[in-house]
Structure 1
C-alpha cells in the first residue's frame, strides 16, 4: 500500500494494465489527472488533441488496429459529450476503449447547483452508451475500479467502458493498494453436442459459406483451417476484412460472396452480426441452413439460427474443424467443384466492380503502391464505400472502419490513432471532403506529435452520397449537400503539412510515392466530380442504385 493522489492511482492502474498511450485534452476538472500523466511521462505517452471527439476516435483507432485497449481522458460534461459518437462507434465495432473523465467536486454531486460542466446524471448518460461505467469517489478505490474497468472491457464481447472521478479527488491523497489484472469472464468450452450437430450439417453441405466479422480478427488461422477443410469461402465486410486475406482463394469480399449466395446451402457466421445474410441478402436461398459461432449469447436471439455455438471465435472454429475431421474419418472432402465455383465468383466480381469509377482506379493504384501490411482507415465517402469490397486486404485489423454506425468524420482521427499504434507501418486515411473537415484541424496534432499519417481527401465539393440520394429520390432537390470547401493545399500548408493535388490516377501514384517517402504527415487531395462518379451501392446493397 502506498500514499498517492487519485490521479496517480489511476495512472498506476493504467500502466499495470498495459496502457502505454493516452489521448487527451486537459481542463480544470482533470488537472490532477494530467499532472499524473506528466509525472509518468517516462512510462506513458500523452497525445493531446484540438477537440475531445478526436481523443476518443484516436483511442478507438488505436484499439481497433491492435486488439489492445485504447484510453482517453477529457473533462466532464461538454467534454465527455463530445466523445459520445466515438463511444457509440466503439460499442458498434466491439472495441476495448476506456473513457476517463472528471466530475463536479464531491460536495456538489447530485445537487444540481450548476457547477462548471455539470450534467444531471453524467454516469447514467455514460452507462447508456458503454458496456460498463462507474465512479471513483476516493483515491483508495482507484486501483480496484480501474482493474474492474479492464475486466469488463475485455471479458466476453469487448466494448467501451468509462470511469469518472470528482474534481477534488484527482489531487487528493489516499492509501492505494495496486491491483493486478482481474480474471476475464469468458464462455466455457464450446458445447460438444452442439458442435457435433453443426459438423454434421457442414459434412452434408454442398455449398457452405462462412461470414467472418470483426469478432474473428484474432482467429484467422482457425477460420482458415475450417474453411479449407470444408471448402467454404470466407466472406468479410468492413471489420472482418483480412481474417482470411483476399489473396487466398477462399478470401472473398461481399461483392464476390453475393455471386455465390443463391447456391449457398449452409452459412456460418463467426464473430459476425450476419448483416448480409440477415438483411442485405435476405431472404436466403430455399432450404438454407444457418449457424453462428459467437462469444455473445445475446446474438443467438438477435438473429436466431439453426445451430448456435456460444464460444470465442478461435475456440469455436477449432472445435468445429476437429469435429468435422472426425466425421470425415481422415478422408479429404471432394471440394473441387466448390472451389471452382468460388474462383469463378471471385474473378467475376473483380471484373464487375471495375465499372465503379474513378474510385476503383485510385484504389488499384493505392494497392499497387502500398506494402501488404499497410493500414487503411475508411470514411463515409464514395472511395470508402468502394474500398469495403474493392481494396484487397491481406491481414486482419488492417481495414479499420466505423462499422454499422457509419460515423461521418470518424475516419481521419481514427487513422491518427492507428498511426500512433503503428508508427513504422504506412497508414492511409481514405476520406471525403465533408468527413475530413469534421476533424481536419487535427493536422495540428499530427504535426505536433509527429504522427506521419497519409490522408487522402477525395474532394467532390459535396456530401456525395447524400446528393446522389437526394437527386434520385427528391426530384433533384439537393438541400445541404453542396459544400463550399477551403483550398485544401493552402489548408495543409498552414499546418506545415506537405500536400499534393491530383485529378487522375497517374498523378495519384506519383503523389502517393512521394508521401510514403516523406517523414511527415501528408495530405493528397483527389479532385473528382460527383456527377461522374459511379455508385458503389449495387455491390453493397443488391438492387440499390
Structure 2
C-alpha cells in the first residue's frame, strides 16, 4: 500500500485498464487530477485541445476506430456542457468513451450559491448524456468507482460513461492498494432453442438480406461465413461499413441492396438498429420476416422481430452457423446477379455530382488500410451510399446525431490511435468552422490528418430544403467564409485549393506523403450539389 490521492488512484486506474492517451483541457477544479496525470507522464500522454468539444470528439475517434476506451477530461459546468455533443455522439455511436470531470467543493453541492462552474444537478446532467455516471465522494471510493466505470462501459452495448469528483476530493489522500483492471460482464449466451428456430427460419428463406451495424463489428469473419452459406447479400448504412469488404461480391452498398429488397423474404439484422430498412426505406416486401441478433435486449422491444436472439454477435453467429450447416444444401453462387444490381446502382449514383466524383478521387488516393471520417455534408451523406470500405472501423461516422463539427476533430483522435495509417476527413465549410481551432492541436502535436473541406458557401442541405419546400425563402443558409487556404496556413498547416477530381486526388497523395497536417479546400458553386436524398430515402417501388 501507498499513500495516494483520489487523482492518483484515478490516473492509475486508467493505466491499469490499458489507457495510454487522455484528451482534454486543464482547469482549476481538475488540477489535482491533472497533476496526477503529469506524474504518470511516462505511461500516459495528455493531448490538450482548444475546445472541450474537440477533446470529446477526439476521444470518440480514438474509441470508435479501435474498440478501446477513449478518455477525455474537462472542467465541470461549461466544460462538460461544451463536450456534450461528443458524448451524445458516443452514446448514439456505441463507443466506449470515458468522461472524467469535476464538481464544485463537496460541502457546497446542492446549495445553489453560484460557485464557479456550478450546475443545478451536475451529476444528473452527466447521467443524462451517458450509459452510467457516478461521483467519487472520497478517495476510498476512487478505485471501485473507476472499476465500475470500465466494467459498465465495456459490458453489453458499449456506450460512454462519466466519473466526477468534487474539487476538494481530487487532492485527498489515503493509504490504498494499486487499482486493478476491470472485467466486463460476460455477454449473454445464445439460447439453444431460439438458435434452432432461427436456423430453421433461415434455411426456409430463398432471398435473405443481412443487415449489419456496429454491434457486428467484431464478428466480421462470422458474418461473411453466414453470407457465403446463404449466398445472401450483406449491407450496412454507416457503422457496419467494412464488416464485409465492399470488394466482396456479397457486399452491397445501400442503393444496390434497395434494388434487391423487393424480392427479399427474410431480413437478418445483426448488431443493427435496422434504421436503413425501417426509417430510410419505409417499405417492406409482402410476407417479409425479420430475424434480429443483438446484445441489447431493449432492441427486441423497440422493433419487435419475428424472432430475436439476445447475444453477442460473434458467439451468436458461431452457434447459428453450427445449427444451420446441416440444414443447408450447397447454394449456387449468385455473383452474376449481384454484380448486375451493384453495377446498376453505381450507374445511378454517378448522377450525384460533384460529390460522387470527388469521393472516387478520395478513395483512389486513400490507401486500402486508411481511415475515412465523414461529417454531415453533401459529400458526407453521399459517402454513406457509395464510398467503398474494406475493413471494420475504417469508416468513422457520427451515426444518427449527424452533428456539424464532428469530422475533423474526430479524425484527430483516429490518427492519434493509428499514427502509422492514413486518415482523411471530409467536411462542409459550415461544419469545418465548428472545430477549426483544432488545427492548432494538429500542428502542435503533429497529428497528421488530411482535412478536405468542400466549400459551397452555404449550409447546403438547409439551403436546398428552403428552396424546394419553403418557397425559396432563405434564412440563415448562406455563408460568408474566410480564405480557407490562408486560414490553414496561419495555423502552420500545409493548405491548398483544388477544383477538379484529378487535382484533389493528387493533393491528397501529396499531403499523405508529406506526413504533416494538411488542409485541402474544394470550392463548389453554391447550389450545384446534386441531392443524394433520393438514394438515402428512395421512393417505394411502383
TM-score (norm 1): 0.97
Offset, 1:530: 3.3
Aligned to 1:411: 407
Offset, 1:396: 0.4
Aligned to 1:191: 191
2:455 to 453, 456, 459: 459
* SS of residue paired to 2:156: coil
Return the alpha-carbon distance in structure 1 between the equivalents of residues 442 and 29 of structure 2: 26
Q: Is the 8 A contact 2:233 2:251 kept in 1?
A: yes
Query: Does residue 1:204 correspond to 2:204, yes or no?
Result: yes
Aligned to 1:360: 356
**RMSD over aligned Cα atoms:** 1.1
Matches within 5 A, 1:70-85: 70-85=70-85
Return the alpha-carbon distance in structure 2 between the equivalents of residues 113 and 151 of structure 1: 35
Aligned to 1:335: 332
Return the alpha-carbon distance in structure 1 between the equivalents of residues 274 and 188 of structure 2: 23
Offset, 1:531: 2.1
Matches within 5 A, 1:3-152: 3-152=3-152
Return the alpha-carbon distance in structure 1 between the equivalents of residues 510 and 248 of structure 2: 30
Offset, 1:460: 0.3
Offset, 1:434: 0.4
Query: Does residue 1:234 correspond to 2:234, yes or no?
Result: yes
Aligned to 1:507: 503
Return the alpha-carbon distance in structure 1 between the equivalents of residues 355 and 283 of structure 2: 30
Aligned to 1:311: 311
Aligned to 1:348: 344
Offset, 1:407: 1.2
Return the alpha-carbon distance in structure 2 between the equivalents of residues 287 and 513 of structure 1: 49
Return the alpha-carbon distance in structure 2 between the equivalents of residues 278 and 20 of structure 1: 40
Between the two proteins, the alignment pairs up a number of residues equal to: 540
1:376 to 360, 372, 377: 372
Aligned to 1:494: 490
Query: Does residue 1:300 correspond to 2:300, yes or no?
Result: yes
* SS of residue paired to 1:526: strand
Return the alpha-carbon distance in structure 2 between the equivalents of residues 129 and 370 of structure 1: 34
Higher mean displacement: 378-387 or 345-354: 345-354
* SS of residue paired to 1:478: coil
Offset, 1:457: 0.2
Higher mean displacement: 438-447 or 504-513: 504-513
Higher mean displacement: 529-538 or 157-166: 529-538
Offset, 1:326: 2.1
Return the alpha-carbon distance in structure 2 between the equivalents of residues 205 and 172 of structure 1: 63
Offset, 1:283: 2.7
Aligned to 1:443: 439
Q: Is the 8 A contact 1:226 1:318 kept in 2?
A: no
Return the alpha-carbon distance in structure 1 between the equivalents of residues 425 and 225 of structure 2: 32
* SS of residue paired to 1:525: strand
Higher mean displacement: 473-482 or 138-147: 138-147
Aligned to 1:530: 526
Unaligned runs of 5+ in 2: none
Higher mean displacement: 42-51 or 364-373: 364-373
Return the alpha-carbon distance in structure 2 between the equivalents of residues 504 and 91 of structure 1: 37
* SS of residue paired to 2:64: helix
Q: Is the 8 A contact 2:188 2:295 kept in 1?
A: no
Offset, 1:389: 1.5
Offset, 1:177: 2.5
* SS of residue paired to 2:226: helix
Return the alpha-carbon distance in structure 1 between the equivalents of residues 292 and 228 of structure 2: 18
Higher mean displacement: 146-155 or 317-326: 317-326
Deviation per CA, 1:497-527: give whole Å up to 9, x if none.
0111011112112211211111210000000
Return the alpha-carbon distance in structure 1 between the equivalents of residues 69 and 176 of structure 2: 23
* SS of residue paired to 2:269: strand
Higher mean displacement: 90-99 or 132-141: 132-141
* SS of residue paired to 2:261: helix
Return the alpha-carbon distance in structure 2 between the equivalents of residues 543 and 289 of structure 1: 21
Return the alpha-carbon distance in structure 1 between the equivalents of residues 279 and 24 of structure 2: 38
1:516 to 501, 509, 512: 512
Aligned to 2:428: 432
Deviation per CA, 1:239-261: give whole Å up to 9, x if none.
10000010001111111110100
Offset, 1:179: 3.5
Offset, 1:478: 1.3
Offset, 1:93: 0.7
Q: Is the 8 A contact 2:70 2:98 kept in 1?
A: yes
* SS of residue paired to 2:175: strand
Q: Is the 8 A contact 2:365 2:506 kept in 1?
A: no
* SS of residue paired to 1:531: coil
Q: Is the 8 A contact 2:22 2:44 kept in 1?
A: yes
* SS of residue paired to 1:238: coil
Aligned to 2:385: 389
Aligned to 1:287: 287
Higher mean displacement: 33-42 or 13-22: 33-42
Offset, 1:176: 2.6
Q: Is the 8 A contact 1:245 1:251 kept in 2?
A: yes
Return the alpha-carbon distance in structure 2 between the equivalents of residues 122 and 535 of structure 1: 42
Deviation per CA, 1:390-436: give whole Å up to 9, x if none.
11000100000110111111111111100110111000011110000
Unaligned runs of 5+ in 1: none
